[in-house]
Structure formats: structure tokens, C-alpha cells
Amino acid sequence: MQNDAANVQFIDVGQSPDVRRIAAIATPGATNSATVVWLGGYRSDMTGTKAVALEAQARALDVGFLRFDYSGHGQSSGHYTDGTISLWLEESLAVIDRLATGRLVLVGSSLGGWITLRVIEEFRKRGIRNRIAGIVLIAPAPDFTSVLIEPHLSEKELISLAEKGYFEEASAYSAEPNRYTNALIEDGRHNLVMTGLIETGCPVHILQGMRDPDVPYSHALGIMEKIVSDDAILTLVRDGDHRLSRPEDIERIEAAVAAMLALA
């Protein structure tokens, strides 16, 4: 395993005085090889189990691998409560533009699934249609602010949003509660991807735990219903949780990524 600290590079994204310093690690593959791009979840970072395992797989296959931290996450600057989907999308595109080579396999986990689908939309706006060989979505949470949060807000949470600009809920993964801001929720409405059909222009493989307490598997079914013109596979893991980080889960994810790389 390489020393992560020695391999981190930083990219400045945004305009002064709101420049975010984004930490990234780009592992090169063979010349002209594809690159696997990891897009992580809300309040996770690029040192997580799945990201590290997929980087090791990429090394073994001699393909590139790119992982990074959104602003407010991991080694990047800022605090996650200052982030929005638009800002994290901008950072993702900047890192990919700067550091990814060849055709791409995008792997989006939770929030990263939403960012992945927005990256594809932005590529299409640029006229880039053939660079993405495939996408793998792990417990994807596109539109989660509008679909999974807003309809279920309690009166107490609505009052907190109105008076404080945010509300908090306990996190199963951290002693610090999750904080969701008005800015995140309002910006989410401008980045929705499930209001119509989802066109990726490439194969899609979704892996979803049926015991996921954060993103119900019905959400994954809803995504599948929106993908009508591209090859799509949904793997439901009966006893899987939100993280899908057990050895058997990692094996499933690696197999899905390997299948996409075979098409690159």
C-alpha cells in the first residue's frame, strides 16, 4: 500500500474569495488505460474501505484510479455544511478534467451516485458522449434532499430550518450529528435527476442493500424505472446495509467494476 500522504495533490476550484482546495490521489495505469473514478458519499472521504479496495483492484488490472475529497470532507478545505450539490459537482468535474485519463468508469456511492449522474449530464452538455464506459452506483442517493429528506421533515426540523438555517439528526457513523442546511436542500432542487428519464449513454450497475436504513431499496428501484434506453443491472443484497463494505460486498462491487472496464 502506498503512502497516501505522499501522493495527495491539491486542486483549487472556484473563484476568489471562495476557492476550495480539493485533495485528490491519482494512481496511473498503463498508457492509454481507462480510469476508475471514485465519487464518495456524504461526510465520507477517499480513505474509506471501498475506495482503497477499488484502487488496489485498479493497480492489479493496470488501469488508472482517481479518488478525491469534496470540499468539507477529508483533506479538502472547508466544512461540509458549506457544501451543496452544485459545488461538489463543480469540484468533481474539475478533478476529472485535470487528473483522469482515457475512458472512464464512474463509481458513485450514496451522494456520489447523485454526483455521478450529474457529471454525465454535464458531459453531455459539453458534447462528450463516448468517454464514460460505464457507471457503478452503490446505494445511490440521487435527489435525496427532495425525495428522502423534505417529505419527511418533522415540525421541529422545519422550525430549525426556518430559524437556524439547518437541522440535525443523529448519525450512525459519527458521534457528530448530520447537519442538513437550507442551502443544500434548496440547491438540491436545481440538480434533480429523477424528474424524467435518466439517460446515461452507457451500461449501469446498481448495488443496493435491502437493509439500508438511509436509502431504502425502493429508491434504487425508482432509479431503474427511469433508465429505459441503457443497459442496467440492479443487484439487491438481501442482508446488505448502506455501506456495503463487507468482504462479500466488496467482491460484488469489484466484479461490477471489472465488467465495466472490460467495455472500456
| Residue 3: band (very low, low, confident or very high) from pLDDT cuts 50, 70, 90 | low
Angstrom CA distances, 171 to 42, 80, 175, 215, 250, stand at 11, 14, 7, 14, 23
For residue 166, tell me if it sits in a domain: no
For residue 31, tell me if it sits in a domain: yes
Taking CA 242 as the corner, what is the angle to CA 240 and CA 248, rounded to the nearest 5 degrees? 40
User: How far from the centroid of its chain's Cα atoms is residue 186's Cα?
Assistant: 19
d(CA 32, CA 226): 33
Does residue 2 carry a pLDDT above 90? Answer: no
For residue 160, tell me if it sits in a domain: no
For residue 108, tell me if it sits in a domain: yes
Look at residues 188, 55, 177 and name the one whose alpha carbon lies nearest to residue 115.
188
For residue 96, tell me if it sits in a domain: yes
> Tell me, what's the pLDDT at 83?
97
> Tell me, what's the pLDDT at 160?
98
- Tell me which DSSP letter residue 177 carries: P
Does residue 43 carry a pLDDT above 60? Answer: yes
153: helix, strand or coil: coil
Q: Are 92 and 66 in contact (CB under 8 A)?
A: no
Indicate the pTM of the whole model. Answer: 0.96
Q: Is the peptide bond before 17 cis (omega within 30 degrees of 0)?
A: yes
Tens-place pLDDT, residues 135-183: 999 999 999 999 999 999 999 999 999 999 999 999 888 889 999 999 9
Tens-place pLDDT, residues 102-117: 999 999 999 999 999 9
Angstrom CA distances, 106 to 35, 68, 184, 197, 236, stand at 8, 13, 23, 19, 20
Could you tell me the residue range of the domain that residue 39 belongs to? 4-142+195-261
For residue 174, tell me if it sits in a domain: no
For residue 229, tell me if it sits in a domain: yes
For residue 213, tell me if it sits in a domain: yes
DSSP E strands in 35-149: the ranges are: 35-39, 64-68, 104-109, 132-138
User: How far from the centroid of its chain's Cα atoms is residue 24's Cα?
Assistant: 14
79 CB contacts (<8 Å, ≥6 apart)? 72
Q: Are 211 and 241 in contact (CB under 8 A)?
A: yes
How many structural domains does the chain have?
Answer: 1
Please list the alpha-helical segments (H only) found in 165-246: 182-188, 217-226
Q: What is the CATH number of the domain that holds 116?
A: 3.40.50.1820
Residue with grid cell 448495488, as numbered in its chain: 207
CB atoms near residue 186 (< 10 Å):
11
